[in-house]
Structure 1
Amino acid sequence: MKRFCLLVCLLTVSSFNWAAEPGFRAGAFAQNISPTTFPTPVNGSMKGNHAKGISDPMHARCLALHDGKRALVYVVVDACMIPREICEEAKRLASQETGIPAAHMLISATHTHSAGTLAAVFQSDPDPEYVKTVAPNIAAGIIQAVKNLEPAEFGWAFGSEPRHVFNRRWHMKEGQYYENPFGITTDRARMNPGAVSPVVSVPTAPVDQDVAVMAVRALADGRPLALLANYSLHYVGGNTAISADYFGAFAREIGTRLGAEDERYAGKPAFVGIMSNGTSGNINNINYGSSLRYKRNPGEQINIVAGHVAEVAQGAYETIRWEKEVTLDSEEADVELAVRKGTAEEMAQAKEWLATIPRDKDGQWSDKKAIYARETVLLADFPDTVPVKLQAHRIGSLSVAAIPCEVFVQIGLRLKETTPFVRHFTISLANGYNGYLPTEADHAMGGYETWRARSSYLEVPASTVVTEKLEDMLGAMKRRMEE
Structure 2
Amino acid sequence: MKKAILNFQIRNKVSSFFKKRRLCYSLVLILTSTSINAQNELPKIFRAGAATSNITPKIGTSINGNMQDATVRQIHDDTYARCIVLDDGQTRLAILTADLCMIYREEVDEAKLRANQITGIPVGNIMMSATHTHSGGTACSLFQSDPDKDYLKFLRERLADAVVRANNNLAPARIGWAVGKEPGQVFNRRWKMKPGKPLMNPFGKEDQVKMNPGIANPDLLEPAGPTDPGLPVISIQTPEGRPIALLANYSLHYVGGTGAGEVSADYYGMFVDRMKELLAPNDKQHPPFVAMMSNGTSGNINNVNWSAAKAPPPAALYSRMREVAEAVAAEAHKTYQNIKYQNWISLSSAQKEIALGVRLPDKEEIERAKEIIAKAQGPVMNTMEEIYARETMLMKDYPKQVSVLLQAFRLGDLAITAAPFEIFVEIGLDIKARSPFKPTFTTSLANGYNGYLPTPEHHALGGYETWRARSSYLEIGASTRVTKVLFELLRKLKNEQP
TM-score bracket for this pair, using the shorter chain length:
over 0.9
Q: CA deviation at 1:21?
A: 11
Cα gap change, 1:338 to 1:56, in 2 (>3 Å): same
Matching of residue 55 in structure 1 with residue 79 in structure 2: no
Q: Counterpart of 1:198?
A: 218
Alpha carbons 1:235, 1:284 under 8 Å: kept: yes
- The alignment partner of 1:134 has SS state of helix
- The alignment partner of 1:388 has SS state of strand
Which deviates more from structure 2 when the two are superposed, residues 193-202 or residues 435-444?
193-202
Q: Counterpart of 2:184?
A: 163
Q: Counterpart of 2:227?
A: 207
Corresponding residue to 1:27 among 38, 49, 55? 49
- The alignment partner of 2:247 has SS state of strand
What does 1:168-179 align with in structure 2 at a 5 Å threshold? 168-179=189-200
Q: Counterpart of 2:17?
A: none
The code of the aligned residue for 1:217 comes to Q
Partner Cα distance (2:197, 2:423) in 1: 28
Partner Cα distance (1:60, 1:269) in 2: 16
Partner Cα distance (1:195, 1:325) in 2: 49
Partner Cα distance (2:370, 2:314) in 1: 42
Q: CA deviation at 1:99?
A: 0.4
Cα gap change, 1:21 to 1:95, in 2 (>3 Å): farther
Q: CA deviation at 1:436?
A: 0.2
What does 1:78-93 align with in structure 2 at a 5 Å threshold? 78-93=99-114
Q: CA deviation at 1:22?
A: 5.5
1:199-255 CA distances to partner (integer Å, 9 max, x unpaired)? 330000000001110110011x31100000000000011112100000000111001
Alpha carbons 1:121, 1:455 under 8 Å: kept: yes
Partner Cα distance (1:137, 1:255) in 2: 22
The code of the aligned residue for 1:399 comes to A
Partner Cα distance (2:439, 2:343) in 1: 19
Q: CA deviation at 1:179?
A: 1.4
TM-score normalised by structure 1 residue count: 0.92
Q: CA deviation at 1:325?
A: 1.1
TM-score normalised by structure 2 residue count: 0.89
Partner Cα distance (1:430, 1:466) in 2: 13
1:34-58 CA distances to partner (integer Å, 9 max, x unpaired)? 113x222101111111120100001
The code of the aligned residue for 2:54 comes to N
Matching of residue 111 in structure 1 with residue 132 in structure 2: yes
Partner Cα distance (1:477, 1:431) in 2: 19
Q: Counterpart of 2:251?
A: 232
Q: Counterpart of 2:457?
A: 441
Partner Cα distance (1:22, 1:144) in 2: 24
The code of the aligned residue for 2:398 comes to F
Corresponding residue to 1:182 among 203, 207, 212? 203
Q: Counterpart of 1:273?
A: 291
CA RMSD of aligned residues (A): 1.3
Partner Cα distance (2:289, 2:90) in 1: 24
Q: Counterpart of 1:17?
A: none
The code of the aligned residue for 2:179 comes to F
Matching of residue 283 in structure 1 with residue 311 in structure 2: no
Cα gap change, 1:25 to 1:342, in 2 (>3 Å): same
Alpha carbons 1:110, 1:276 under 8 Å: kept: yes
Partner Cα distance (1:301, 1:173) in 2: 30
Matching of residue 333 in structure 1 with residue 340 in structure 2: no
Cα gap change, 1:21 to 1:336, in 2 (>3 Å): farther
What does 1:43-442 align with in structure 2 at a 5 Å threshold? 43-185=64-206, 187-219=207-239, 221-240=240-259, 241-258=262-279, 260-262=280-282, 266-290=284-308, 291-359=310-378, 363-442=379-458
What does 1:457-476 align with in structure 2 at a 5 Å threshold? 457-476=473-492
5+ residue gaps in structure 2?
1-41
Alpha carbons 1:39, 1:53 under 8 Å: kept: no
Which deviates more from structure 2 when the two are superposed, residues 187-196 or residues 288-297?
288-297
Alpha carbons 1:91, 1:105 under 8 Å: kept: yes
- The alignment partner of 2:389 has SS state of helix
Which deviates more from structure 2 when the two are superposed, residues 452-461 or residues 298-307?
298-307
Higher helix share: 2
Q: CA deviation at 1:456?
A: 0.2
5+ residue gaps in structure 1?
1-19
- The alignment partner of 2:497 has SS state of helix
Q: Counterpart of 2:63?
A: 42
The code of the aligned residue for 1:75 comes to L
Partner Cα distance (1:138, 1:170) in 2: 38
Sequence identity percentage:
46
Q: CA deviation at 1:77?
A: 0.1
Partner Cα distance (2:82, 2:313) in 1: 32
Q: CA deviation at 1:388?
A: 1.0
- The alignment partner of 2:340 has SS state of coil
Alpha carbons 2:216, 2:311 under 8 Å: kept: no
The code of the aligned residue for 1:209 comes to P
Q: CA deviation at 1:81?
A: 0.3
- The alignment partner of 1:322 has SS state of strand
Alpha carbons 1:170, 1:189 under 8 Å: kept: yes
Q: CA deviation at 1:267?
A: 4.1
The code of the aligned residue for 1:33 comes to I
The code of the aligned residue for 2:295 comes to N
1:389-416 CA distances to partner (integer Å, 9 max, x unpaired)? 1111110111110010000000000000
Task: Tell which structure's C-alpha radius of gyration is larger.
Answer: 2
Q: CA deviation at 1:127?
A: 1.4
Deviation >4 Å, runs of 4+: none
Partner Cα distance (2:384, 2:377) in 1: 12
The code of the aligned residue for 1:447 comes to G
Alpha carbons 1:21, 1:68 under 8 Å: kept: no
1:8-49 CA distances to partner (integer Å, 9 max, x unpaired)? xxxxxxxxxxxx99521100001101113x222101111111
